Structure 1
Amino acid sequence: MDAELERLIGDIGPRLNRVRQDRGLTLDELAGATGISVSTLSRLESGKRRPTLDLLLPLARVYRMSLEHMIGAPQTGDPRAHLTPHHRETRTGIDSVVIPLTTYPGRIQVFKQILSPTTATPTLVTHPGHAFFYVLAGTVRLLLGDRERLLKPGDNADFDAGSPHWFGPAGDSPAEILHLYGPHGDRFPAG
């Protein structure tokens, strides 16, 4: 095996550890969700066990990630298959990772967004357009005017972004959302 391939395989364990930590999961919780023993998961993350498909596929399912993204596979030359995440701090003080899924100027934009916990006091913002997000993982706290909602995986929010709002993870764990934003007040299609 060449040195670069050996390095790529060696990086999978630490990468899996970061993904689990980012999701706020313990090894016990991950073992329960995947059916893989805690000791096997620990050895996989520490690099003492080589990654195999029978271990990686259940992890990809639980993490709701493509196998390529989860293990950091090298690019194939097809830019559609390798989306570039961007780290950013929002205007409301939330540190997040944003992965653009579309790049249609002037149309609805779609992002996967991973929101990191914050201790900052929420600051309501307004901006033109319409916002829609769907919670993929974690719990999202949404402040919309004087209302507050806690949204769990499978819940969604749909609101005029001109209304004062703030959203971020509820508690100490990150949250993941699929975020649609229409720059001209576009609404996410119903149904």
Structure 2
Amino acid sequence: MNRELDLVGARLRAARHARSLTLKQAAQQAGMSASTLSRLESGKRQASLELLVPLTRLLGIRIDDLVQRESPDPRVRRPVIQRDGLTIAPLAPEGSAIHTYKIVYPPVDTLPELRTHEGYEWLYVLSGRLRLRLGEQDLVLTRGEAAEFDTHVPHAMSAAGERPAQVLSIFNDEGVRMHTHIAES
């Protein structure tokens, strides 16, 4: 039997529980016997439109909700980007509403040039020490520290000290273009 059809009963039961309805209450309100609903939920009775339509209306769900496809593989498999000495690992799927990256900043002698762009940036230091130049401020963030700032303010980042800094960064669309775009030669 199709795996999706096998899940209809469990999804019906979950929707009924979410509405805090007993088997008897749901069956009565949907115009069927409690034993019919019990058999539907346990997979011992084949679901038909005649039975599903009143149940889905009662439970405030769509028939499509009962036969939804299985979740796709949640693993993110995107190539790591090497740019200006940085290692940028995408942590969200392509086209995701939230652009999340793990960035490794190598130790450098000179802080990169200050930049500005549209939007905001959020970051969290996983390891090492991160130098964040934000306008006139020259900050060093350590493991467990976070920052959020308007990217209209001139800013630049690098590792502080002899070791790389690993950072989780979340960008808006413009921030993604600024940080991950590989310049054409």
TM normalised by structure 2 equals: 0.50
Shift of the alpha carbon at 1:105? 3.1
1:87 corresponding residue in structure 2: 82
Aligned residue number for residue 131 of structure 1: 121
By how many angstroms is 1:183 displaced? Answer: 2.6
1:134 Cα offset (Å): 0.2
2:93 is the counterpart of 1:98: no
Counterpart secondary structure, 1:168: strand
Residue 147 (structure 1) aligns with: 137
Distance in 2 of aligned mates of 1:102 and 1:81: 6
What is the identity, as a one-letter code, of the residue corresponding to 2:136? D
Which residues of 2 match residues 1-191 of structure 1 at below 5 A?
80=75, 82-89=77-84, 95-105=85-95, 107-183=97-173
Gaps of 5+ in 2: 1-72, 176-185
Q: Secondary structure at the match of 1:80?
A: coil
Identity of aligned residues (%): 34
1:174 shift after superposition: 0.4
Provide the rounded CA distance (Å) in 2 between the counterparts of 1:125 and 1:145: 10
Q: By how many angstroms is 1:88 displaced?
A: 1.1
Distance 2:96 2:155 in 1: 23
Gaps of 5+ in 1: 1-77, 90-94, 186-191
Give 1 or 2 for the bigger CA radius of gyration.
2
8 Å CA contact 1:136–1:177 kept in 2: the answer is yes
Q: For the residues of structure 1 that align with 2:174 and 2:97, how far apart are their CA atoms?
A: 8
Could you tell me which amino acid in structure 2 is paired with residue 117 of structure 1? P
Conserved 8 A contact 2:76-2:93: no
User: Structure 1: how far apart are the matches of 2:139 and 2:110?
Assistant: 18
| CA root-mean-square deviation | 2.2
Judge conservation of contact 1:134–1:154 (CA < 8 Å) in 2: yes
SS at match of 1:123: coil
Alignment CA distance shift 1:81-1:107 (3 Å):
closer
Do the aligned partners of 2:76 and 2:92 also contact (CA within 8 Å) in 1? no
Q: Normalising to structure 1: TM-score of the pair? A: 0.49
1:101: how far off? Answer: 0.8
- In the alignment, is the contact (CA less than 8 A) between 1:139 and 1:175 conserved in 2? yes
Determine the C-alpha separation between the residues in 1 that align with 2:111 and 2:102: 24
